[in-house]
Chains A and B, each alone.
Chain A
Amino acid sequence: MSAATRAPRLPPRAKLRTEELVGSAVRHAILIVLVILCLAPIVWLLITAFKPYGELFSSPPTLFPIHPTLVNFAGGWSVGGGRGIRDSLIVATSSTVLCLILGFPAAYALARRFSAHGQLSFTILSLRMLPPIVPVIGFYLMFQKLHLYDTYIGLIIAYTFMNLPLVIWLLAEFIRQIPRSYEDAARIDGAPWFWMFRDILLPLSAPGIMTAAILSMMFAWNEFLFSLVLTGDNVITLPKALADFFLFQEPNWGQLGAIGIVAMGPLLVLSYLMQRYLIRSFTAELGGR
C-alpha cells in the first residue's frame, strides 16, 4: 500500500492550523509558568535541606547539592523539629478526636431535627469564618486566669473551638444524605440506640467522618497564630518551632529546610487520603443501588 492512499486516513488532528498551534503554545506556556511559580519554593526548600552549610550561600548558587548530606535532618530534629512534630501531633490529633466526639452528635441532631436551609446550620458555620485574631485575645485572657496558658489542654481547646463548626457543618451535610429508612429499619429490627449508632450510622458516615477528620487535622497542623499567642516555652508546635528559627540569630537555613520538608509529609499523605474520601463521600458508596 502506497503512502498516497494512506494519507487521507490521517485523523483531522494532524492538520493543525497555525492559530491553533499558537493558542496551544500560549496556553502551555502560561501553565508552565504557573507550575514553576507554585513549585519553586518547595523545590528550593527540598534542595536546601540536602545542602551542607558551606554550600548554602555559594556564588553562583548551585541548583543541586554538590555534596548532598542528611546532617540538616539530624540537626533540625534535635534543635526543635522533633519536639515540634511531637507537640503538633499531640495537639492536632487530640483536637481532631475531640471535634469528632463533640461534633458527630451535634451534626446528627442538626441533620435530623433541623431544616437544611435553617439559620442554625449557617450560624454554626459562620463561627468558622471569624478572623482567628478575634477569639485569640479572649482566649489569651481566659487562659491566663484558668492556668491553661502554655498547656496542651489549652491549645487543644482553642483548636477544637476553631474546627468544631466546620466539622459539625460537614458531618450534618453528610448525614442528611443518609436515608432515614436505614435508621427506621434498625429500630424495627430492635436495635437499641447504641447498636444503631455503632452498626448502621457510624459505618455509613465513615467517609464523612474521615473527610472531617482530615480537614480538622490539616487546619490544626498548619495553625500558627493560636500557638504563637497561647503557648510559651512549654508547648512548641511545628509552625512555632519553625518561626523560632528567626528569633535569635541568623537562621540555619539547611535545618529549616529539613524540618519544613518533614512537616509537609503528613500533609501530603492526608491530602492524598482526602481526595479518595472526598470522592467516595459524594459517590455511589452510599446509596446501595
Chain B
Amino acid sequence: MASVTLDHLNKWFGPSVHAVQDVNIHIEDGEFFGLLGPSGSGKTSVLRMLVGLERPTEGSILFDGVPVHNKTPQERNVAMVFEQNALYPHMTARQNISYPLRVRRASSETIARKVAEVATLLNIGALLDRRASQMSGGQQQRVAIARALVRDPNLLCLDEPIAHLDTLLRARLRGELKRLQRALGTTSVIVTHDPIEAMTMTDRLAVMRDGRLQQVGSADEIHNRPVNAFVAQFFGLHSMNVFTVDSCVDQGDHIAGRVGGQPARLPRTLERFLNIGRRTASIGARPSGVMVLRAADTAPAVEGFTATGQVYVTEQLGDAQLVTVQIADQSIQTLTPDPRAFEIDEPVRVFIPDDALFLFDDKTQQTRRFASRTAGDELAAIRSEVA
C-alpha cells in the first residue's frame, strides 16, 4: 500500500495529441480514488501511466514519495482490472489468479494458500476450475479482481471494471467493490465515465476533460460546488440545466431578461454577479431544483427564476417524473414528485427558487455563484413537497 502523487504529468501521442495536460493529483494511502470523465478525456491514459503501461512524456509519478515512472509494472507492484477480456481465456480461473504469483516464482504452497484466501474473500471457490468462457460477466470480473489482489499490490487500478455488466449486477458489484476496498485498505484508483459509479464508490475523485483536470474533491464538493458548467453538467444523477438569459435589465425589484426571445424574470440577488455590461447570464439549476407549474398554480412566495414554455416530453421514473420544458430554443429538465400528468406541448411555467440557481461566467463557463441549496436540501425539499 502506498500514497500516490502525480506531479505535472503530461502525455503526448505523436506531435499533435496532448492526451494528458499537466495533471497534479495526490492520492492518500488507502484511499479509493476516482478518475471521471467522458471518453477521450485522458483518464485511461493517466491510469496506464500509473500502472506503467505507458511512460509519461513529462512529469513524474511517486509512490510514497519515491519516483516510479521509470519502473516496470512488476517493480511498482501494481495490479489492474480491465474492462473486458480481463481473463486469459485459455487458463482456468485458478491458473489466472495464480499467474502473477507463478511469474514471481512463489512456492507452490504459497500459491495454493494465497489463491484459497482470495477465492474465499471474493466468494469464487466454486469457479476455480472453470475457464473464462464458462463464467458469466460478473463472475469473470470477480476472478479478475482476485487475480489483481492475490499479489497484495501497492496500488489497485480498475479500468471501467463493471461498465459492461447489466444494471442490477453493476449496482451489486459497486457495493461489493467498495466494501472490499475498505476491508483491505489497498490504495485504489477507478476509471469510469459513469458519475454514479464515481459518486457511490470513491472517497475522492477527479473530473477530467480534454486531458485537463477540472476539479478534485469529494462527491459532495463536486456536486454542490462544481467549478464550471462542464463539471456541473457532467456530474450528478441528472445533468444540470445550463441555459443562457440575455438582454438582462435591472428592474429594481427583479431582473428582466430573455431566454431565446421569451421574457424571463431573474431574482435581484443575481445582480451583483451579473456582468451587466454584457447583459448576458449563464444560468444553471439541477433538475431537482426546478419546479414546473400550470397557469392555474400559484407561484411560490420566494424569489426565483420564472419563464414560460411548453412541455416537450415527460418521462416517468416511478417515484418522480422528469419533465422537459422547451423555452424557445432552450430546454430545461425538471425532476418533480408532482404526480400530475403533463401533456406534450402543454403551456407551463418554469420556476427555479433563488437558492437553487447557479451562475456561470458566460465566456469562461467558470462558476460565479453556487446554489446555496445542497443535494441533501433538495431531497428534503422534495420529500416535504410530497408529504
A residues sitting closer than 8 Å to B (CB atoms) are 179, 181-182, 184-192, 195, 199-200, 203-204, 284-289
Write the chain B residue with the least CB distance to A285.
Answer: B89
Write the chain B residue with the least CB distance to A192.
Answer: B103
Q: Which residues of B contact A192 (CB under 8 A)?
A: 103
Q: Which residues of A contact B131 (CB under 8 A)?
A: 288
Contact of A289 among B78, B88, B140 (CB under 8 A): B140
Confirm or deny: B104 has a beta carbon within 8 angstroms of a beta carbon on chain A.
yes
Q: How far is the CA of A185 from the CA of B83 in the complex (A)?
A: 11
> In the complex, are the beta carbons of B73 and A287 less than 8 A apart?
no
Bitwise, B70-110 to A at CB < 8 A (1) or not (0) is: 00111000111011111111100000000110011000000
Confirm or deny: B147 has a beta carbon within 8 angstroms of a beta carbon on chain A.
yes
> In the complex, are the beta carbons of A185 and B137 less than 8 A apart?
no
Confirm or deny: B132 has a beta carbon within 8 angstroms of a beta carbon on chain A.
yes
- Nearest 8 Cβ contacts at the A-B interface: A288-B89, A190-B74, A288-B132, A189-B100, A179-B85, A188-B73, A203-B90, A181-B82
Q: Which residues of B contact A189 (CB under 8 A)?
A: 73, 99-100, 103, 147, 151
Max count, chain B CB within 10 A of own CB: residue among A182, A189, A204, A289: A189
Q: How far is the CA of A289 from the CA of B165 in the complex (A)?
A: 13
Task: Answer whether A179 and B73 are a contact pair too, CB < 8 Å, given A203-B90, A286-B89, A289-B137.
Answer: no
A12 to chain B, nearest CB (A): 41
Contact of A191 among B52, B83, B103, B137 (CB under 8 A): B103
> In the complex, are the beta carbons of B88 and A179 less than 8 A apart?
no
Q: Which residues of A contact B74 (CB under 8 A)?
A: 190
Q: Which residues of A contact B386 (CB under 8 A)?
A: none
Confirm or deny: B133 has a beta carbon within 8 angstroms of a beta carbon on chain A.
yes
Confirm or deny: B51 has a beta carbon within 8 angstroms of a beta carbon on chain A.
yes
Write the chain B residue with the least CB distance to A202.
Answer: B90
Write the chain B residue with the least CB distance to A204.
Answer: B90
Confirm or deny: B53 has a beta carbon within 8 angstroms of a beta carbon on chain A.
yes
> In the complex, are the beta carbons of A204 and B104 less than 8 A apart?
no
Contact of A185 among B88, B90, B104 (CB under 8 A): B88
A186 to chain B, nearest CB (A): 8
> In the complex, are the beta carbons of A287 and B89 less than 8 A apart?
yes
> In the complex, are the beta carbons of B103 and A185 less than 8 A apart?
no
Max count, chain A CB within 10 A of own CB: residue among B51, B78, B88: B88
> Would you give 6 A-B contacts (Cβ < 8 Å), ordered by A?
A189-B100, A190-B103, A204-B88, A204-B89, A204-B90, A285-B89
Q: How far is the CA of A157 from the CA of B212 in the complex (A)?
A: 55
Contact of B99 among A179, A199, A204, A287 (CB under 8 A): A199
Q: Which residues of B contact A204 (CB under 8 A)?
A: 88-90
Q: Which residues of B contact A284 (CB under 8 A)?
A: 133
A72 to chain B, nearest CB (A): 47
Q: Which residues of A contact B88 (CB under 8 A)?
A: 182, 185-186, 199-200, 204, 288
